[in-house]
Amino acid sequence: TRATIGVTGLATMGRNLARNIARHGHTVAVHNRTTSRMTSLVEQFGDEGDFVGAETIEDFVAAIQKPRAIIVMVKAGAPTDAVIDELVPLLDEGDIVVDAGNAYFADTRRREKALSDKGIHFVGMGVSGGEEGALNGPSIMVGGSDHAYERLAPVVESIAAQVDGTPCAAHLGPDAAGHFVKMVHNGIEYADMQLIAESFDLLRSVLGLEPAQIADVFREWNEGDLESFLIEMTADVLAHTDSSTGKPFVDVVGDAAEQKGTGRWTVQSALDLGVPVTGIAEATFARSLSGHTSQRAAVRETFADLAELDPATQRDVDRDAFVDDVRAALYASKIVAYAQGFDQLAAGSKEHGWDLDLGEVATIWRGGCIIRARFLDRIKEAYAAEPGLETLLTAPWFADAIGNGVQAWRRVVAVSAERGVPAPAFASSLAYFDGLRRDRLPAALIQALRDNFGAHTYTRTDREGTFHTDWAGDRAESSPA
Ligand code: 6PG
């Protein structure tokens, strides 16, 4: 019993997490269902730190100091339940089981409840940063009891990415708080990537730039407010040439985007919470659309003649001006996506009693995770200045950025419509902004229609109460109790 912590599930993420833990001076017990993964980890990387290899789950559990802390890093869903079921009979009260996978937060709530009835602490821990992050410093979003976090903190905070001396790891709240935050992180990741993809498409389709030239544009953007891991990576990917064909790499990659489910969960949860995460939803649907290849072929064929749009309806576009417009549109749309994601965090927190500190979320997303960006500093500052902020859109920095960029944003959306270049995330983000800004929304007409066909009632702008008009009869207005 000398290990500080254990990791079971040694596929890439689990293996890298275990190595990261060992490299930070913690003794780590390692276990995998197929033993060869465990032995090869110890053989290859044993000199990086103190590993205790366990062939059986019993030996693994026995190797860990009490109260035990066990990280489970297996596929979300049934495989996670199977490992938990195997572990639980071997554990004692006060022990801690950590699910570090991308679990659906409702599963985490269920598991937490089931284990806490047995006196075992269950922690849903969101880990972002991919393989590289797991090894060299991820962002870690922890949900669970105070007891559990106290036990985990020395390990978790030492292996996390560090920004300005602050670890990108935090105890965000009870039960599924960490997994919920990780889910929304991934939703925002979808939106970020979709906005980047739309920017690329516009620069290419409207200006005729080659991927390598667009790489330069992204590299330049990465010097400014848009500076982020994904923008930098985009420049790198666009500059890459396929070795077998000599073509730009992006041109030989199949154009049907896949998804493991976190974006879809984010949108499903947002629907339940009633939070309009339009940017994330468009990004998720854009992936679905890309995958409908036979439908795409059918529509492409039917509308083949439409390929040439009427030049008379197209405005002239100046290269440098358009590049800068796209940059501004990207930034404004990104603000919308994050504003929506943070709204969802606030709503989820309220619904489930997590008491999330949104500034803290922004703080631990500044490093390690996939959406890490200079931008997150601004969000952190916004919540520090005003913890109860209604929406990020009104925080001074972001309000200025949108105010300065809104004309460019409109031009980009207009050009995308004129040229038939799909930019769903740009367009819907702009519509969201205009919707919130509007004095009177046509929702009034929707209320009137609902009352007409279904007696669903409406409120009035001029007096309190609930009203119904007798549409089929004399159109008298009544005030149903
Ligand atoms: C991260 C990533 C990580 C993973 C996603 C990708 O934060 O490190 O989000 O969790 O790359 O599962 O999800 P999709 O397969 O749905 O794109």
Which residues make Cβ contacts (< 8 Å) with residue 331, sequence separation at least 6? 225, 226, 401, 405
Q: Token pair for residue 283?
A: 């990004």
Return the pLDDT at 308. 61
In angstroms, rounded to a whole number, what is the distance separating the alpha carbons of residues 137 and 133? 5
Name the band, by pLDDT with cuts 50, 70 and 90, for residue 474.
Answer: very high
Q: What is the DSSP letter of 160?
A: S
Return the pLDDT at 464. 97
pTM, two decimals, is 0.96
Report cis status (omega within 30 of 0) of the bond before 67: yes
Helix and strand totals (H; E) in the chain: 20, 12
Query: For a pocket test of ligand 1, which of 194, 260, 268 has the largest count of ligand atoms closer than 8 A to its C-beta?
Result: 260
Mean pLDDT of the chain: 96
Mean pLDDT, residues 66-73 taken together: 98
Kindly provide the ipTM of the predicted complex, given to two decimals. 0.96
Q: Which atom of ligand 1 is nearest to the CA of 129?
A: 8
What's CA 321's distance to the chain center, in Å?
31
- The set of catalytic residues is 182, 189
Pocket of ligand 1 (CB under 6 A): 102, 128-130, 186, 189, 259-260, 262-263, 369-370
Q: Whose CA is nearest to atom 12 of ligand 1?
A: 260
CA torsion 279→291→196→281, rounded to 10°? 10
pLDDT tens digits along 172-196? 999 999 999 999 999 999 999 999 9
Q: Which atom of ligand 1 is nearest to the CA of 261?
A: 16
pLDDT tens digits along 131-143? 999 999 999 999 9
Return the pLDDT at 309. 65
